[in-house]
Chain A
Amino acid sequence: MNRSLPPSSWPVAGRLVLERDLRLAFRRPGQLLQPLAFFAVITLLFPLALTPELERLREVAPGVLWISALLSSLLALDFLFRDDAQDGTLEQFALSGQSLTLLLFAKTVAHWLLTGLPLAVMAPLLGVALGVPLQALPGILAALALGTATLSLVGAIGAGLTLGARRGGVLLSLLTLPLAVPILIFGARATELAIKGAGYAGPMYLLAALAVLGLTLAPLAAAAAVRIGLE
């Protein structure tokens, strides 16, 4: 019996979940690269479908980058909770006595660090291939980093809701994409302004507002969704 061991505080529990997810991801680096490869493939298909002229590509670059990033993020979201639901880890989370909201939030943070952030870091590289000027690259990175963070938060709700559903992957996209419209609008606009060399603070503030809203409400909804999915 080990009732003598002191109970864990919530920051310790949250850190453990984060650490666990990062470690698990790095045990399978191939899976980690998949969304990034997907992002690159979609983005680089556009010049083939539209035109090789950098002038014209530069005009559509914000849309191309954002749609590709959105789709790649969604692809990864499908795995956010699925494995842990199947092997019973989520059940143990729910019964750990710690706040499920906190533990799932830690998982969402890990997910963003492993997919959203690398996507944002990679976007400038692809931007160059779309004729984006170099001085726009920091703006693109910032907008995508903020946007994908909100998308992870909102997507966590969808991922929780589709846990018990048939063909969850397609359904997840159908649920999440309409909710992602504001992120897409503000994010693409910030990117567009950055490419034009104009100030992009306005849409960035709006993106930040969405992120704050997502941060406060989405984890609660995601925990409720997962709890229902566990039944």
Chain B
Amino acid sequence: MDWTWFHRLASPPHVYRIAGTLTPWFAWPAGLLIVAALYGGLVLAPPDYQQGDGFRIIYVHAPTAWLSVMIYTTMAVAAAIGLIWRMKVAHAAAASCAGIGAWFTAASLVTGMLWGKPMWGTYWVWDPRLTAQLILLFLYLGYMGLRAGIEDTARADRASAVLAIVGVVNVPIIRFSVDWWNSIHQAPSVMKMDRPSMPADMLVPLLLMLLGFTLYFFAVLLVRLRAEILRRERSASWLREALSA
């Protein structure tokens, strides 16, 4: 099979251009969806019968928690593509994912803590979700640390790709072990958000927010990917032509 079209499609100049064109197509819908979901979640949705208005932080907490895992998976897939097909752009994409994912993980931790305060009177409980998020944050930090620790970009790409793949295999195992640990010690669980009985006027804004955050992630990823390509291709001739044009 001839793969040259594939490699041409994935060449840095091409991706740089496409990413620039695509960014607004993700950014605008993301902005609109988030504003709509905020209105729906903060104004239209009724207060929770148990948690009152405190539950509304779910509209930020749940999407960030979901994205933190999804971004790690995206990163690992991009890294695997880079490793298997030797595609530099895929490595650049994986590198761009890490920082965004770490911030989303941190955001989910902070919102989880803020939620815990009114519910349990303390900022930190060893809730299984929060604990797993914390370990995920360390996985992100390890990935970024390895990248920063290796000077040569190509080598850093490949080494961190192996780590991302090992990490993605481990994420479900870590989740399972933490749930198991929690079931033994029966620590309080604040965040039971997967109640099937959630009424539609609460659920719809949540789903909108989820979609909005996901689109926002892709928009930021494209911007960061462009920056990453610029950094990596700083001595390439296509870049000089593109900038002088």
Give chain A's interface residues, CB within 8 Å of chain B: 157, 161-162, 164-168, 171, 174-175, 177-179, 181-182, 185-186, 189, 206, 210, 213, 217, 221, 224-225, 228-229, 231
How distant is the Cα of A189 from the Cα of B106 in the complex, in angstroms? Answer: 29
Stretch at the interface among B10-18, B35-43, B154-162, B190-198: B154-162
B162 contact from A161, A165, A177, Cβ within 8 A: A161
Chain A residues with CB under 8 A of B141: 174
B192 to chain A, nearest CB (A): 22
Q: Is B166 an interface residue (CB 8 A)?
A: yes
Asked whether, in the complex, the Cβ of A168 is within 8 Å of the Cβ of B167, the reply is no
Chain B residues with CB under 8 A of A228: 155, 158-159, 162
Chain A residues with CB under 8 A of B174: 178-179, 181-182
Asked whether, in the complex, the Cβ of A162 is within 8 Å of the Cβ of B146, the reply is yes
Q: Is B25 an interface residue (CB 8 A)?
A: no
The answer to whether residues A178 and B146 also contact, given A186-B177, A217-B169, A228-B159 and a CB cut-off of 8 A, is no
Chain A residues with CB under 8 A of B150: 164-166
Chain B residues with CB under 8 A of A164: 150, 152, 155, 159
How distant is the Cα of A165 from the Cα of B142 in the complex, in angstroms? Answer: 12
How distant is the Cα of A162 from the Cα of B176 in the complex, in angstroms? Answer: 28
How distant is the Cα of A186 from the Cα of B152 in the complex, in angstroms? Answer: 38
Chain B residues with CB under 8 A of A182: 170, 173-174, 176-177
Q: Is B163 an interface residue (CB 8 A)?
A: yes
Apart from A166-B151, A181-B135, A228-B155: 16 A-B pairs, beta carbons within 8 A: A162-B146, A164-B150, A164-B155, A168-B149, A171-B142, A175-B145, A175-B146, A175-B163, A178-B170, A182-B176, A182-B177, A217-B169, A224-B162, A225-B159, A225-B162, A231-B154
Least CB separation from B151: chain A residue: A166
Q: How large is the interface on B (under 10, 10 to 19, 20 to 34, 35 or more residues)?
A: 20 to 34
Asked whether, in the complex, the Cβ of A166 is within 8 Å of the Cβ of B149, the reply is yes
Sort A-B residue pairs by CB-CB distance and give the 10 closest, nearest first. Answer: A165-B149, A182-B177, A178-B138, A175-B142, A228-B158, A185-B177, A185-B181, A174-B142, A161-B159, A228-B159
Can you list 7 A-B contacts with CB-CB less than 8 angstroms, sorted by A residue number?
A162-B149, A164-B159, A175-B145, A175-B146, A181-B178, A182-B177, A225-B162
How distant is the Cα of A231 from the Cα of B155 in the complex, in angstroms? Answer: 8
Chain A residues with CB under 8 A of B145: 171, 174-175
Q: Is B28 an interface residue (CB 8 A)?
A: no
Q: Is B139 an interface residue (CB 8 A)?
A: yes
The answer to whether residues A177 and B166 also contact, given A161-B146, A162-B149, A231-B155 and a CB cut-off of 8 A, is no
Least CB separation from A170: chain B residue: B145
What sequence of 0s and 1s flags, for each residue 128-144 of chain B, a beta carbon within 8 Å of any chain A beta carbon?
Answer: 00000001001101100
Chain B residues with CB under 8 A of A178: 135, 138-139, 142, 170, 174
Chain B residues with CB under 8 A of A175: 142, 145-146, 163
Asked whether, in the complex, the Cβ of A161 is within 8 Å of the Cβ of B163, the reply is yes
Q: Is B123 an interface residue (CB 8 A)?
A: no
